[in-house]
Amino acid sequence: MTTSKNDNIKKDNELSPELYHIAREKGTEAPFSGKYWDHHEKGMYQCAVCGTELFSSDTKFDSGTGWPSFSEPMNTEHVILKEDNGHGMRRTEVLCKKCGAHLGHVFPDGPRERGGNRYCINSTCLLFKGKK
């Protein structure tokens, strides 16, 4: 994290309706609808709510699910993993540690050679910054 202050966290009334729904109400964007599922540039995916660096393009892979998928977070200290037993499923929710935004879920069916995890993240919650 570049700052310990909370200045960079967007307030709820500054979020788009889509981002509010996913980040604050734990919604899910429709697969193949987001801006990053088929995005292959090199760089860093930040939290769309607070700017925290969440996922590097180096860990992104094509999962075929229609959501951006990563084998690991940029820094495990930047996210929180939480048991989620909603919707009749046992899943692990992924949240931004700094602002608490719901980002998506992590599943144990990722590429084995990369550790076996699949962080399935909503494009809406991410902001891509290309490498300069």
Q: How far is the CB of 98 from Fe ion (least distance, A)?
A: 5
Residue numbers 29-88 binding Fe ion by CB under 5 A: 47, 49-50, 52
Q: How far is the CB of 51 from Fe ion (least distance, A)?
A: 7
106, 94 Cβ separation under 8 angstroms: yes
- Only one of the segments 26-34, 64-72, 73-81, 92-100 lies at the binding site for Fe ion (rule: CB under 5 A); that segment is 92-100
22 binds Fe ion (CB under 5 A): no
Question: What CA–CA distances, in Å, run from 90 to 45, 53, 82?
Answer: 27, 27, 11
Phi, psi of 67 (to 5 degrees): -120, 150
95 binds Fe ion (CB under 5 A): no
The residues pairing with 75 across neighbouring beta strands, listed in sequence order, are: none
CA distance 129 to 46: 7
96 binds Fe ion (CB under 5 A): yes
Which residue's CB is nearer to Fe ion, number 22 or number 49? 49
User: Residue with structure tokens 């599922």?
Assistant: 37
Residues in the chain: 132
Site residues for Fe ion per CB under 5 A: 47, 49-50, 52, 96, 98-99, 101
